Structure 1
Amino acid sequence: MDQVANIVQERAPILASIAVILVTVFTASILLNSSGASKLPLVGEEIGNAEKRRKAFITNGIDFYQKGYELFKSKAFRLTALDGDKIVLPRHLMEEVRQLPDDIINIDKAFTIMNEQHLLGMEHPTRGKFLVHVIQSDLTRALVRINPRLSEESSRTIQEEIGACEDWSEKVAYSTLLRIVAIVSGAIFIGGDLCRSEEYLKSSIGYTLDFVGAVSGLKRWSKRWRWLGSYFVPEVKKLFAERKKAHDFLEPIIAKRRVAMKAGEDMPDDTLQWMIEKAAKFNLSDDELAESQLNLSMAAIHTTTLTVTMILYDLVVRPDVVEELREEITRVLAANDGVMTTHALFEMKLLDSVMKESQRVNPGSLIRFQRYVDKPVTLSDGTHLPSGYLIETAHALTVNDPEVYRNPEQFDAHRFLDLRNGTSEDLLKYKNREQHQFVTVTKDFMHFGYGRHACPGRFFAANEIKLILARILLDYDIRTPDGVTERYANLSMGTDAFPDPTKTVLFKRVKKTA
């Protein structure tokens, strides 16, 4: 725990921008060289030239989106972000846009520009496709099989990391949950024996923060000179050094497993093994396999921790909701022989509703569905997307729009449960009420993205989040210290918001009745 706390404290400035740069998060800080002029309305044009608009965006970026959304809700508009113009699309066009092929709107190119992947040694399209394939074909399909292990690991790790707590005990929520998520995820990613290794935890937790720091450091340089900056930015040097340490840890493990496979030994049922068995098909070396494992941790551990922390902050000031959830979890477990099976987790529908409502009121990033326009295209309503532009949609404004969700300013734990049950009016008129599940992606709720490139790991993440929350709520009472009654405010940076990683929560073991 001390080591995780030290990592978090050491990289506090990096944590402040974690929601901006994470691989499954969509940012606004991208340089664009537009090869075609757009005639779409420009928000902030009255401010002056592009440089003046850029400076205004730095301090009031959210206001630009809000103004554009209010003025052009049903139309596309432009705004000038940190380094250029981009196009913000209305939600009614998203169904059409999501069907455009990758050679017209390109997610890989958007990520490459956004994350400076060509300068950080991460530009490897085959490795990206490999990771998505393993998640979709192996991890997601194995959920029913691996869920008992996830459940057992969640229970064990929570007991270890939160502790006995016979009296009220104060814990820093983010760093505690970060270690829990890293260990529980690691049990499936790399195996139960290694997931508690301090070397593994340090690399899986720290690598993302080092990556964020490197990208942030490069963004301080102009695009023209970033190739030169990569030799001088200390965060870049640190990233490469830490990556080498992580590879030095992982590659002998991979080599040892290959020897065991040749000897005909029984092999672990985990993500690393699935990767090893499919590496030849994708022509990946052991070094590239190690990098794929790092990227898996980077995509999963911090994003899941941010989500769980947001939900815990929402619940700790709502004891009535906690009690309802505890009753639901207890009832569902009783009907499933006390086992948190995949079916049992599905039946925890109030918990699912709370998770989705927390996402709605804490959307993290204001924007979603960023794509780079590789080829110009004109949409059905006449909207023209020139090549060289970044496109996106104002997700956070959509999920807080009263035309989409009633009373959006209120946290309603039952909102999505009632929509699934048909006991409240669905303004979206979905024919399939299950569209309101936590894992479902629609043009009206894009927390996990939208279309064929929606987050492939969201099913695993949903199971893990439910298991962790259910176990915490069953085993511990929770409250804020010093009589705090208001939810901890999120921290904001640019167009992103994330839970304050310094805040604490009090835990006390629930006394079991005979």
Structure 2
Amino acid sequence: MALTQLAHSASALLPLVLPSIAAILAFAIFQRYFAPNPLSNLPIVGEEYHGYEKKRQAYLTKAKDLYLEGYTKFKHGLFRIVTPNANSVIVVSPRFLDELKKLPDDVVSFDAANDDSMHTKYTLIPTHEPILPHTIKTSLTPSLPRLNPQLSEEVQIAFSQEIAPLMSSSPSDWAPININSKLLRIVAKVSGRVFIGPELCHDERYLEAAVGYTVSVMEAQRAVERMNPWVRPIAAWRLKEVRKLAQMERDATAFLRPVVEARREKQRKGEEKDNDMLQWLMDSADQGQGKQHGKWGEDTTTTRKLARLQLAISFAAIHTTTLVTTHAVYSLAADPKLQATLREEIQSVLQEHKGVFNTSALQAMKKTDSFLKETMRFHPLGQTSFNRKVLRTFALSNGQVIPKGSTIEVPNYAVSRDPEAYPNPDVFDPLRFYNLRNEAREKGEAEQAASGQFVSVNKEFLTFGYGRHACPGRFFAANEIKMILANLVMTYEMGLVEGETERYRDWDIAAGTIPDPTKDVMFRKL
């Protein structure tokens, strides 16, 4: 009886509901196909690839060329580009950066753009974690003067474990080493010294979690990226790469649970606390900053949450640091004279600082610093920077309206090859920034000299981002990379494998550029 009455009621309501549904559909169709498009005046690069799918495929294989084409044609303005995602992407000239960086996060969102690029709806990669940049800025970076000697010690330990066993017993023999895979473990150990402590950073369970998660995140991101956006809501969840991430998070939580419990027991007993990233995060939670609905949002006191934070910071540190260092090693292997130049500087600086990699010693390695900055200019990890999702419609100073739901970005790679920004931009000049800093100092231009440092950001060097969301961990990463390279250069000669005469070519994958991870580098002990 009740079902019959319900059916009659539904039938009676249907004539009232159907017009509403029709109206909603009509409005959606009008908005999609007939409403004025504020971006219709902007040119689209890649128009020769007819149809959305062909444009999307072109981006996956030729993004670098598309961005260069757009920047060359519309350098001082804006253009559109079709990416593997469904939303409109607007590429903006660097001249708008100063006004864009002033916009609040509820207008243009760094986190929301990361969600789109990393496909967090499916990968569940933690991106909205304000406690991480806060802890890096307030605890990690100020501690670097104290931490640098510890990091240097850890680099030497990691080398003895990862590189030395692969070397020939004869000092005159060369040994081939897949340096990318070894650097993943070296960087994980050195970063782990700060993230989780000197004992646990060598635990294979930690290394498997940190390195494995770093590799798996990018595999999952690329797997989702390759899918048509209309198919993702149905099929992305079932990708083996995506399912693997969830299992790795569970494994990391299981590993970390007894560690967290042991530290909390030490606190209850009033014993001295550990002094690493895990403890700093726990302290923030215990001070009430991480409680539910508090400053940091989701409850950071749970072991699962702490595991997610550890995985997030491990990915950010290990992924980028390994790629940059591998790029640098490939360039060194192709240039024995450059190895000799840096070796001479590093030995001289360390002699002046009694062999200690302290802050002043690292800052004094100006040629090494220049080489690293040029490496990131010439081999940037991404084609774009300053990626932001537009949450509220706004207008640029030239009157161009940027609608809600679109994404804005600046063509980092194209800017790095602009002859107005860099003379002879297609030439890899390892001392480019060393010479620029010297010239600026001679002219009394202190600000210009400072802009030539590896960690500096400006509108011509966007690899670390720009504005308040510029990479907060770049100071830690710069010190770590310098120590790793310094130890390599002082301990080994490096070369390309037999038959190779030029630096190994990079892999361009959609908007990313990575060093070829399959290549070996030849090493011989000095």
Question: TM-score, normalized by length of structure 1?
Answer: 0.87
Secondary structure, counterpart of 1:192 in structure 2: coil
Does residue 335 of structure 2 align to residue 318 of structure 1? yes
Question: Which stretches in structure 2 are left out of the alignment for 5+ residues?
Answer: 1-31, 292-299
**Contact kept in structure 1, 2:441 and 2:449, CA below 8 Å:** no
Alpha carbons of structure 1 residues 44 and 216: separation in structure 2 relative to 1, 3 Å: closer
Alpha-carbon distance in 2 for matches of 1:191, 1:453: 27
| Residues 57-99 of structure 1: CA deviation (Å, up to 9, x unaligned) | 4443333222211111111111222244311001111122112
Alpha carbons of structure 1 residues 248 and 40: separation in structure 2 relative to 1, 3 Å: same
Alpha carbons of structure 1 residues 225 and 67: separation in structure 2 relative to 1, 3 Å: closer
**Contact kept in structure 2, 1:61 and 1:494, CA below 8 Å:** yes
| Residues 451-510 of structure 1: CA deviation (Å, up to 9, x unaligned) | 100111000000000011111111112122215321011112223221111111122222
Give the match for residue 15 of structure 1: none
**Contact kept in structure 2, 1:218 and 1:229, CA below 8 Å:** no
Alpha-carbon distance in 1 for matches of 2:237, 2:461: 41
Give the match for residue 72 of structure 2: 70
Alpha carbons of structure 1 residues 109 and 61: separation in structure 2 relative to 1, 3 Å: same
Q: CA deviation at 1:236?
A: 2.1
| Residues 40-63 of structure 1: CA deviation (Å, up to 9, x unaligned) | 222234554444533444443333
Alpha-carbon distance in 1 for matches of 2:442, 2:393: 40
Aligned partner (choices 105, 108, 124) of residue 102 of structure 1: 105
Alpha-carbon distance in 2 for matches of 1:276, 1:296: 14
Root mean square deviation, CA, Å: 2.2
Alpha-carbon distance in 1 for matches of 2:353, 2:442: 32
Alpha-carbon distance in 1 for matches of 2:127, 2:322: 27
Alpha carbons of structure 1 residues 421 and 246: separation in structure 2 relative to 1, 3 Å: same
Q: CA deviation at 1:225?
A: 5.0
Read off the aligned partner of 1:98 and give its amino acid letter.
K
**Contact kept in structure 2, 1:260 and 1:267, CA below 8 Å:** yes
Higher-Rg structure is: 2
Q: CA deviation at 1:436?
A: 0.9
Secondary structure, counterpart of 1:92 in structure 2: helix
| Residues 222-277 of structure 1: CA deviation (Å, up to 9, x unaligned) | 54553432542222222111210111001210111110111122222111111111
* Structural mapping, 1:78-477, within 5 Å: 78-84=80-86, 85-122=88-125, 125=128, 128-163=129-164, 165=167, 166=171, 167-224=173-230, 226-280=232-286, 281-283=289-291, 284=300, 285-422=302-439, 431-477=447-493
Give the match for residue 17 of structure 1: none
Identity %: 40
Moved over 6 A (4+): 423-426
Q: CA deviation at 1:330?
A: 1.0
Q: CA deviation at 1:423?
A: 6.8
Question: Which stretches in structure 1 are left out of the alignment for 5+ residues?
Answer: 1-32
Alpha-carbon distance in 2 for matches of 1:505, 1:43: 38
**Higher RCO (Cα < 8 Å, 6 or more apart):** 1
Q: CA deviation at 1:367?
A: 1.0
Read off the aligned partner of 2:115 and give its amino acid letter.
T
Secondary structure, counterpart of 1:370 in structure 2: strand
Alpha-carbon distance in 2 for matches of 1:80, 1:214: 21
**Contact kept in structure 2, 1:78 and 1:88, CA below 8 Å:** yes
| Residues 2-33 of structure 1: CA deviation (Å, up to 9, x unaligned) | xxxxxxxxxxxxxxxxxxxxxxxxxxxxxxx9
| Residues 371-405 of structure 1: CA deviation (Å, up to 9, x unaligned) | 01111111112222111111001110111111110
Deviation larger for 273-282 or 467-476: 273-282
Question: TM-score, normalized by length of structure 2?
Answer: 0.85
Alpha-carbon distance in 1 for matches of 2:361, 2:127: 39
